[in-house]
Amino acid sequence: MTDHHQSTRGKPRVALVTCSRLTDLDPDDRLVLAPLAARDVTVEAAVWDDPDVDWSSYDLIVLRSPWDYALRRDEFVTWAASVPALVNPADVVRWNTDKRYLAELSAAGVPTVPTSWVEPGESWQPPADTGEYVIKPAVSAGSQDTGRYDLADPEHRDLAVAHVRRLSTAGRTTMVQPYLSAVDTEGETALLYLAGPAGLAYSHAIRKGPMLTGPDHGPDGLYKAEEITARTARPDQLAVAERTLATVPGGTRQLLYARVDLIPGPDGDPILVELELTEPSLFLGYADGAPDRLATAITTHLALRA
> Cα–Cα distances in Å, from 209 out to 73, 175, 193, 281?
28, 21, 20, 15
Residue among 172, 231, 279, 293 flagged as catalytic: 231
Residue 112: DSSP 8-state: B
**168 in Cβ contact with 120 (< 8 Å):** yes
Alpha-carbon gap, residue 123 to 251, rounded angstroms: 37
Residues 6+ apart with CB under 8 A from 222: 19, 21, 22, 67, 68, 142, 144
Strands 257-264 and 270-276: antiparallel
**172 in Cβ contact with 207 (< 8 Å):** no
Sign of the alpha-carbon dihedral angle for 244, 246, 247, 248? positive
Q: Is 104 a catalytic residue?
A: no
Residue among 186, 188, 274, 276 flagged as catalytic: 276
Q: Is 9 a catalytic residue?
A: no
Alpha-carbon radius of gyration of the chain: 20
Q: Is 135 helix (H, G, I), strand (E, B) or coil?
A: strand
Which H or E run includes 262?
Answer: strand 257-264
Q: Is 231 a catalytic residue?
A: yes
Residue among 188, 259, 279, 293 flagged as catalytic: 259
Q: Please report, to the nearest 10 degrees, the dihedral formed by the alpha carbons of residues 23, 75, 92, 227 taken in order.
A: 40
Q: Which sequence positions are flagged as catalytic? A: 231, 259, 276
